[in-house]
């Protein structure tokens, strides 16, 4: 008499699937707020360090961009120093009959006079030097991140990956660096009240031990600015990696870096602390062994660009790729034989 009603399983219905997905997302958000880690982060911090280290050991050529950046900027600095020194020297020595008989004080005074007579040219040269240096650094940094990305995804990277990633991302990374520099400079507002309270600094320069009104306010402002710099450094530490890996615009890269931090606070903070700690240990060892020893100074100076910077670049890259649910190679699988031995 009545039509037969078929059996419908709620576990296979669309409503049940949607409700399960919503519940999973809510649970994911709650877990992320509680633990400071995204639910997509399927490697813990120790695993990131372990596999990142093995990836770096397998691809030691990631240090090439940092080494090239150092030597090219060194050549650029020497060229700039010689150029501006010659300009100021020639400009200030027009009325000198024999420059060879001048004392050091007279030479410095002459160069200063040359600077005052060529302020627009000198400022233009200084700005050109810093901008060109920033562009070069952006190119090699983007190249190093591109190499770290390729190594993390495939297990290997080659020198051409540096040029490919550098050409594609250097200008956008340069603009991002400018935005971050402006954000850092904005922190100068913290020291303005102290500077206004002190007023004329001539008395402090001539008598450093003389109590000056407002020094406490200025010291507090400097401390606040330092804290502000640390916060900016942590919040946007992933911005360059987001820009290069996902080929984002500068503003989108800053948003992505900030969003990644908000979803993975502990991992970002631990890795930032680890990176700063490595640099601190390297500097401490250099001071402990003696900065007067030339060989020790050279080693501690080159360790960051040959070891620390490439290694931490691989770690930051791996962390970001994991958070974005990218498929990565497991270095343990790459190093094992066909039978997994």
* pLDDT tens track for 241-294: 999 999 999 999 999 999 999 999 999 999 999 999 999 998 888 777 766 677
pLDDT in tens, 181-236: 999 999 999 888 877 776 656 655 556 555 556 677 778 888 999 999 999 999 99
Work out the pLDDT band at 97, boundaries 50, 70, 90: very low
pLDDT of residue 12: 45
| pTM score above 0.75 | yes
Q: 151, 55 in Cβ contact below 8 A?
A: yes
pLDDT in tens, 152-167: 999 999 999 999 999 9
Buried b (16+ CB within 10 A) or exposed e, 17-50: eeeeeeeeeeeeeeebeeebbbbebebebeebbe
Distance from chain centroid for Cα 143: 13
pLDDT of residue 135: 95
Q: 271, 45 in Cβ contact below 8 A?
A: yes
Q: Which of 171-180, 200-209, 297-306 has the lowest mean pLDDT?
A: 200-209
pLDDT in tens, 31-87: 444 545 555 556 888 999 999 999 999 999 999 999 999 999 999 999 888 887 777
> What is the average per-residue pLDDT within 305-333?
91
What is the rounded distance in angstroms from the CA atom of residue 228 to the CA atom of residue 269?
Answer: 15
> Which residue is listed with tokens 């039509």?
3
Residues 6 or more apart from 235 whose CB is under 8 A from it? 257, 258, 261
> Which residue is listed with tokens 């007579």?
117
Which sequence spans correspond to the domains of the chain? Answer: 41-326
* 3-state class (DSSP) for residue 211: coil
Give one word for 213, left, alpha or beta, with left for phi > 0 and alpha for psi -120 to 50: beta
pLDDT of residue 103: 65
pLDDT of residue 243: 97
Count the alpha carbons within 13 Å of 207 in the hemisphere toward its beta carbon. 5
Q: How many CB atoms lie within 10 A of CB 331?
A: 20
Give the C-alpha distances (Å, rounded to integers) separating 87 from 84, 91, 114, 121, 229. Answer: 5, 6, 8, 9, 36
């Amino acid at each position: 008499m009545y039509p037969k009603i078929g059996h419908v399983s709620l576990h296979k219905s669309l409503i049940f699937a949607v409700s399960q997905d919503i519940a999973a997302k809510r649970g994911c958000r709650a877990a992320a707020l509680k633990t400071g880690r995204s639910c997509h982060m399927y490697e813990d911090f120790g695993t990131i360090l372990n596999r990142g280290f093995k990836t770096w050991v397998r691809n030691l050529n990631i240090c090439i961009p940092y080494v090239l950046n150092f030597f090219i900027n060194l050549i650029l600095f020497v060229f700039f120093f010689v150029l501006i020194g010659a300009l100021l020297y020639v400009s200030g020595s027009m009325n000198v009959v024999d420059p060879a008989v001048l004392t050091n004080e007279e030479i410095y005074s002459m160069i200063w006079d040359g600077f005052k007579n060529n302020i627009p040219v000198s400022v233009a040269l200084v700005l050109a030097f810093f901008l060109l240096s920033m562009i070069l650094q952006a190119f090699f940094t983007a190249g190093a991140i591109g190499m770290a990305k390729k190594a993390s995804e495939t297990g290997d990277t080659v020198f051409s990956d540096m040029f490919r990633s550098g050409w594609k991302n250097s200008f956008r990374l340069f603009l991002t660096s400018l935005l971050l520099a402006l954000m850092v400079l904005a922190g100068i507002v913290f020291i303005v009240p102290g500077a206004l309270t002190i007023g004329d600094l001539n008395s402090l320069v001539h008598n450093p031990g003389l109590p000056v009104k407002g020094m406490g306010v200025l010291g507090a402002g400097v401390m606040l600015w330092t804290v502000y710099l640390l916060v900016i450094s942590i919040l946007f530490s992933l911005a360059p990696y987001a820009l290069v890996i996902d080929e984002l615009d500068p503003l989108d890269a800053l948003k992505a870096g900030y969003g990644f931090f908000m979803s993975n606070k502990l991992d970002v903070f631990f890795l930032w602390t680890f990176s700063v700690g490595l640099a601190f240990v390297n500097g401490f060892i250099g001071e402990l062994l003696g900065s007067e020893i030339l060989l020790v100074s050279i080693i501690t100076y080159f360790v960051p660009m040959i070891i620390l910077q490439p290694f931490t670049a691989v770690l930051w890259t791996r962390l970001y790729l994991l958070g974005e649910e990218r498929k990565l190679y497991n270095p343990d699988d790459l190093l094992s034989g066909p039978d997994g031995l």
